[in-house]
A and B are shown apart, each in its own frame.
Chain A
Amino acid sequence: MKPNADYREILQHTPFHEKLAPLSQVQSWSPWNGYQVARTYDTLAAEYFAVRSSCSVFDMTPMEKYRIKGPDAIAFLNRMVTRDVSNLKPGRVTYVVWCNDEGKTLDDGTIFHLGKDGYRLCAAHHQLDWLMTSSIGFDVSIEKETHDVAALSVQGPTSCSVLLEAGFAGLEELKPFGIMNFTVQGVDVMVSRTGFTGDLGYEVWMDPDHAITIFDAIYDVKERGLYDIKPIGLDALEMVRIEAGFILPGDDFVTAETAVRNGRERSPFELGLGWAVSFDKPYFTGRRALEKEADEPIKRRLVKLAIEGNKTPHDSFLYDGKNGKRIGTIKVTIWSPILKQNLAVADIEYQNGKEPAEIWAEIYYQKELEWKSIWAKCEISEKPFWSPPRRSKTPPDRF
């Protein structure tokens, strides 16, 4: 008999909580995958600019993590995801998306090749059931390790400098999507040059028992007065991930497993992730449906939209012209402080497989509780809104 769940602790604390909770100035918390995580610690603006101008830390422990091992591990993963991952080298990370048999997107995530330790799959949502079902016939072992690995995302222009000061010697040589292992304060810790911010940044992975040691080693750089480090919450992360062009399953689109209404689920093509689908590899789940779809005009797309003016297009309907035909809606939107523009992820219909010639948003906004409406022109961006050279420069600039 295993110990019972403590019903008084509805949301659990991450291994970093005892360090991060005192740093919260506003006590604004949110649930994320069963954990209590901060929405904001200080002000949104301060946290946003920590990512874009100095160094931020974000507690990403609640992210779903699975360890896949065994002789068929890579064959299994290659069969499950739409991208060809058969050549993923030890010490490298790749972005992947996976579908059900109907070619509809179940989730996205990253695969880490951990060498002799197998592979780690990070995902946005619960995937154990799907992984187990998909692994039938493959000689693999699959373990959920979400709660067995603590993870801290260290992002921003000074993140490399901060981590070097904290004892991660040699980190400057780490290239984007690479993995390096360190021993810091006697603790084994893995660092990947990955992130959800579109900026220079790293993700630091460790045993939860040593999370505090590593956190202290990093935060001590601030205490020593060298560089500022700010904890950031989910709200700032939302801003930077939209600027960086990352999508969030469940927020930007309904995942195939959770969709109730037919037509709500989306294929990778419809999400703008066609580049992550490879037909030059052996059979993968959803391939037949995706091949069929690839031959047909695309019906809709999740797009990155820049919206003119400064009125926030929250939940706005989108039209193919001012007062034109309704073609979609805004899913999420933010004001980009660095681009001085409203940015959004939107789901829009394509007529005859073509992008609409014009897209207009009807925006309802209020000033001092009085509501008004306005039309604003929108532009699709195929590239990330924000992708500075420092994001991939190796070695990164030192500060």
Chain B
Amino acid sequence: MKNYDAIVIGAGHNGLTNAAFLAKAGLDVLVLEKNDYIGGATVSRELQEGWKYSNCSYVCSLFRPEIYQALDLGRHGLEVVPLQGGVTFKQDGDYYGNYHQSALKYREIARHSKRDADAAVRFDADLMKWCRLIRGFLLRTPPDPTSFKIRDAMEFASLLKAFYELSESQIYEFIRFFTMSIAEYLEEYFESEVIKAHFSGGSIIGTGLGVYSPGTAYVLLHHAMGDVDGNVGSWGFARGGMGSVSGAIASSFKSHGGEIRSGAEVEQINVSGRKATGVTLANGEVINAKAVVSNLDAKRTFLKIMDKKDLPDELVTRAENFKIRGSSGKLNIALDGMPDFPALGENSPLTLGHMHFSDTLERLERAYDDWKDDRWSADPYVDIVIPTQYEPTMAPPGKHMMSVFVQYCPVEAEGGWTEEKKQAFGQTVINQIADYSPNFKDLLVHAEIRTPKEIEAEVGLTEGNIFQGELTLDQLMFNRPFPGYAQYRGPVKNMYMCSSSNHPGGGVMGAPGANAAREILMDFGKTDTTPEDFGDD
């Protein structure tokens, strides 16, 4: 029977990235995927004839350009088209237009508050400071601060060095930033309610936290630290939907001789003598490998596909307590035409970007309150994009595809999800959109409604948490997923983790996959094929 060098469990973008770097180094690699299609949460599926949805993740910014370049993803079919600006509609019929043209954006903020327009200069520069600091650590293995190994000490020293390169006041601010709520943070810059509401959205996406919860300021950074062609904080559409991301990585992987088997669910990571030896599939088939890499989230990896007897008790406890709360829903909508948003007037460029309807921090916090009570938000925060306005591949000519990310939606609606409740959740979102777009309902051709339940069932993300674990300080850097396990090596020899449950965390970044590949190749004594950070200074 064939003995692979490495088996990667889960053909999401991190699993594929990991596999591609291993294959590029000459390893014989097999990727196993439970679904009949690859991609995990980076998929494009045609659920309505003629329309393609980015069913889960829907925009791209965090994906590391270093990986893009190293895996030659452009030639393998990936194209990321920058998205432009955004808008928050107000209940009084006005709006805040976050224009992508800086002069226009300045004037628009000033329309709501002259002072805020000037304060935005300070806000942007401050956010960029933290972005710059954190970006330098995305493609690096977190050091173990308790280890005396030379590599850990050196990596920790470089972490401290980056920290101490900040000025005295920046150090204070940095620590505050990482522990503050986004609402409190924005209060230090802005006075206009709609400006605060607009800029706070990115800090609650995907989290089980509200705008007033400590730690949400960092989540904003997590959404702002990516870039499209050097424009830090910008987002883009993958041409052909997010499936193009996983498709391109898979193509690159295959070009290096890699093998993918879909419809092959792993039931167990086989361990013998405290060493991983391979996997057993749901159909009973055993496949052996010198290394087993899990791209599943930490909870699923340790509690579902590993035998607890093979694991240290402490790790099992950590896995059980791992915070991975599902809080997001999604509607993917096929439209017969472009919906009107009368508040914007005709031909406004603002529909080209992210659209939101939450115009106060209070409404955002109330939306969170519902979630805490196991209800979907009656007045949810949505992040809407309509890529088909300039992306021709996802809907028939003249028709449109709308992606509606919804915060918050509980893992278990009170008393458990039913089809009826799911439809009611979808209707809540549709009604909210229709409040601002009178012809929206008439244009509706098809809607895919996804609660955390669907995300968990299809993609395999525990509780449907899109980040594979909350992005809170206790679960970041050398504490991600757990203290002592942040260097992508599992509790048994030859077992590794490459998913977003690991540093630097969730989002379509590819970094955990690449970082894990670096560690595996080091253990195998192979040439490192993973890219170095482009560097900043």
**Residues on A facing B (Cβ under 8 Å):** 1-2, 4-5, 7, 10-12, 31, 34, 101-102, 125-130, 132, 144, 257-263
Contact of A1 among B94, B125, B165 (CB under 8 A): B94
Q: In the complex, which residues of chain B have a beta carbon less than 8 angstroms from the beta carbon of A2?
A: 111
Within the complex, the shortest CB–CB distance from A123 to chain B, in Å, comes to 10
A257→B123 CA distance, assembly (Å): 9
Q: Return 23 A-B CB contacts under 8 Å, by A number.
A: A1-B92, A4-B94, A4-B97, A5-B104, A5-B108, A7-B99, A7-B104, A7-B350, A10-B103, A11-B103, A12-B107, A34-B103, A34-B107, A126-B117, A128-B114, A129-B121, A130-B118, A144-B118, A257-B125, A258-B121, A260-B128, A261-B537, A262-B170
A127→B116 CA distance, assembly (Å): 11
**Residues on B facing A (Cβ under 8 Å):** 92-95, 97, 99, 101, 103-104, 106-108, 111, 114-119, 121-122, 125, 128-129, 132, 165-170, 345, 348-350, 537
Cβ B103 vs Cβ A259 within 8 A: no
Cβ B169 vs Cβ A102 within 8 A: yes
Q: A102-B167, A128-B115, A129-B115 are in contact. Are A1 and B121 (CB under 8 A)?
A: no
Q: Quick one: closest A residue to B119, CB to CB?
A: A129
Within the complex, the shortest CB–CB distance from B32 to chain A, in Å, comes to 43
Contact of B122 among A11, A102, A129 (CB under 8 A): A129
A173→B136 CA distance, assembly (Å): 60
Q: A11-B103, A260-B132, A261-B132 are in contact. Are A4 and B122 (CB under 8 A)?
A: no
A10→B84 CA distance, assembly (Å): 15
A372→B116 CA distance, assembly (Å): 49
Q: In the complex, which residues of chain A have a beta carbon less than 8 angstroms from the beta carbon of B115?
A: 128-129, 132
Cβ B125 vs Cβ A260 within 8 A: yes
Cβ B132 vs Cβ A127 within 8 A: no
Q: A5-B107, A102-B167, A261-B537 are in contact. Are A129 and B118 (CB under 8 A)?
A: yes
Give the A-B pair count, Cβ closer than 8 A.
Answer: 72
Q: In the complex, which residues of chain B have a beta carbon less than 8 angstroms from the beta carbon of A130?
A: 118
Cβ A258 vs Cβ B103 within 8 A: no
Cβ B111 vs Cβ A5 within 8 A: yes
Q: Quick one: closest A residue to B128, CB to CB?
A: A260
Q: Quick one: closest A residue to B124, CB to CB?
A: A258
Q: In the complex, which residues of chain B have a beta carbon less than 8 angstroms from the beta carbon of A34?
A: 103, 106-107
Q: In the complex, which residues of chain A have a beta carbon less than 8 angstroms from the beta carbon of B121?
A: 125-126, 129, 257-258
A31→B104 CA distance, assembly (Å): 11
Q: In the complex, which residues of chain B have a beta carbon less than 8 angstroms from the beta carbon of A144?
A: 114, 118
Cβ A31 vs Cβ B165 within 8 A: no
Q: A-B pairs with the 8 shortest C-beta distances?
A: A126-B118, A129-B119, A128-B118, A129-B118, A34-B103, A260-B128, A5-B107, A5-B108
Q: Quick one: closest A residue to B130, CB to CB?
A: A260
Residue among B111, B118, B125, B132 facing the most chain A CB atoms (10 A cut-off):
B118
Q: A34-B106, A102-B169, A129-B118 are in contact. Are A259 and B111 (CB under 8 A)?
A: no
Cβ A260 vs Cβ B118 within 8 A: no
Within the complex, the shortest CB–CB distance from A255 to chain B, in Å, comes to 9
Q: In the complex, which residues of chain B have a beta carbon less than 8 angstroms from the beta carbon of A263?
A: 165
If over half of B's interface residues share one DSSP class (helix, strand or loop), that class is named, otherwise mixed; here it is helix
| Additional A-B contacts beyond A7-B348, A128-B115, A262-B170 (4; CB < 8 A) | A1-B93, A4-B94, A102-B169, A257-B122
Contact of A262 among B99, B104, B166 (CB under 8 A): B166
Contact of A127 among B92, B106, B118 (CB under 8 A): B118
Q: Quick one: closest A residue to B109, CB to CB?
A: A5
A215→B117 CA distance, assembly (Å): 31
A126→B106 CA distance, assembly (Å): 10
Q: In the complex, which residues of chain B have a beta carbon less than 8 angstroms from the beta carbon of A260?
A: 125, 128-129, 132
Q: In the complex, which residues of chain A have a beta carbon less than 8 angstroms from the beta carbon of B101?
A: 10
Cβ B114 vs Cβ A262 within 8 A: no
Q: In the complex, which residues of chain B have a beta carbon less than 8 angstroms from the beta carbon of A261?
A: 132, 537
Within the complex, the shortest CB–CB distance from A224 to chain B, in Å, comes to 38
A12→B166 CA distance, assembly (Å): 38
Residue among A4, A128, A129 facing the most chain B CB atoms (10 A cut-off):
A129
Contact of A10 among B104, B116, B169 (CB under 8 A): B104
A132→B169 CA distance, assembly (Å): 21
Q: In the complex, which residues of chain A have a beta carbon less than 8 angstroms from the beta carbon of B119?
A: 129
A5→B85 CA distance, assembly (Å): 15
Cβ B93 vs Cβ A262 within 8 A: no
Within the complex, the shortest CB–CB distance from A2 to chain B, in Å, comes to 5
Q: A34-B106, A260-B125 are in contact. Are A5 and B97 (CB under 8 A)?
A: yes
Residue among B106, B122, B128, B129 facing the most chain A CB atoms (10 A cut-off):
B122
Residue among B103, B106, B125, B165 facing the most chain A CB atoms (10 A cut-off):
B103
Q: In the complex, which residues of chain A have a beta carbon less than 8 angstroms from the beta carbon of B128?
A: 260
A340→B172 CA distance, assembly (Å): 50
A11→B117 CA distance, assembly (Å): 16
A130→B121 CA distance, assembly (Å): 11
Q: Quick one: closest B residue to A64, CB to CB?
A: B118
Q: In the complex, which residues of chain B have a beta carbon less than 8 angstroms from the beta carbon of A128?
A: 114-115, 117-118
Within the complex, the shortest CB–CB distance from B535 to chain A, in Å, comes to 13
A31→B115 CA distance, assembly (Å): 21
Within the complex, the shortest CB–CB distance from A246 to chain B, in Å, comes to 22
Cβ A31 vs Cβ B93 within 8 A: no
A4→B101 CA distance, assembly (Å): 15
A129→B118 CA distance, assembly (Å): 6
Cβ A258 vs Cβ B117 within 8 A: no
Q: In the complex, which residues of chain B have a beta carbon less than 8 angstroms from the beta carbon of A129?
A: 115-116, 118-119, 121-122
Q: In the complex, which residues of chain A have a beta carbon less than 8 angstroms from the beta carbon of B116?
A: 129
A102→B170 CA distance, assembly (Å): 11
Within the complex, the shortest CB–CB distance from A117 to chain B, in Å, comes to 20
A10→B119 CA distance, assembly (Å): 21
Within the complex, the shortest CB–CB distance from B417 to chain A, in Å, comes to 41
A132→B349 CA distance, assembly (Å): 33
A11→B106 CA distance, assembly (Å): 11
A237→B111 CA distance, assembly (Å): 31
Q: In the complex, which residues of chain B have a beta carbon less than 8 angstroms from the beta carbon of A127?
A: 118
A126→B107 CA distance, assembly (Å): 12
Q: In the complex, which residues of chain A have a beta carbon less than 8 angstroms from the beta carbon of B108?
A: 5
Within the complex, the shortest CB–CB distance from B408 to chain A, in Å, comes to 30
A261→B128 CA distance, assembly (Å): 9
Within the complex, the shortest CB–CB distance from A254 to chain B, in Å, comes to 10
Q: Quick one: closest A residue to B99, CB to CB?
A: A7
Cβ B106 vs Cβ A4 within 8 A: no
Q: In the complex, which residues of chain A have a beta carbon less than 8 angstroms from the beta carbon of B348?
A: 7
Within the complex, the shortest CB–CB distance from B381 to chain A, in Å, comes to 23
Q: In the complex, which residues of chain B have a beta carbon less than 8 angstroms from the beta carbon of A262?
A: 165-167, 170
Q: In the complex, which residues of chain A have a beta carbon less than 8 angstroms from the beta carbon of B117?
A: 126, 128
A80→B84 CA distance, assembly (Å): 38
Q: A31-B103, A102-B169, A258-B125 are in contact. Are A7 and B97 (CB under 8 A)?
A: yes
Residue among A5, A11, A101, A258 facing the most chain B CB atoms (10 A cut-off):
A5
Q: Quick one: closest B residue to A143, CB to CB?
A: B114
Within the complex, the shortest CB–CB distance from B533 to chain A, in Å, comes to 16
A5→B117 CA distance, assembly (Å): 14
A263→B165 CA distance, assembly (Å): 9
Q: Quick one: closest A residue to B117, CB to CB?
A: A126
Cβ B345 vs Cβ A4 within 8 A: yes
Within the complex, the shortest CB–CB distance from B305 to chain A, in Å, comes to 43
Within the complex, the shortest CB–CB distance from B258 to chain A, in Å, comes to 40
A259→B170 CA distance, assembly (Å): 11
A263→B95 CA distance, assembly (Å): 39
A102→B168 CA distance, assembly (Å): 9
Cβ A259 vs Cβ B125 within 8 A: yes
Q: In the complex, which residues of chain B have a beta carbon less than 8 angstroms from the beta carbon of A12?
A: 103, 107
A123→B145 CA distance, assembly (Å): 47
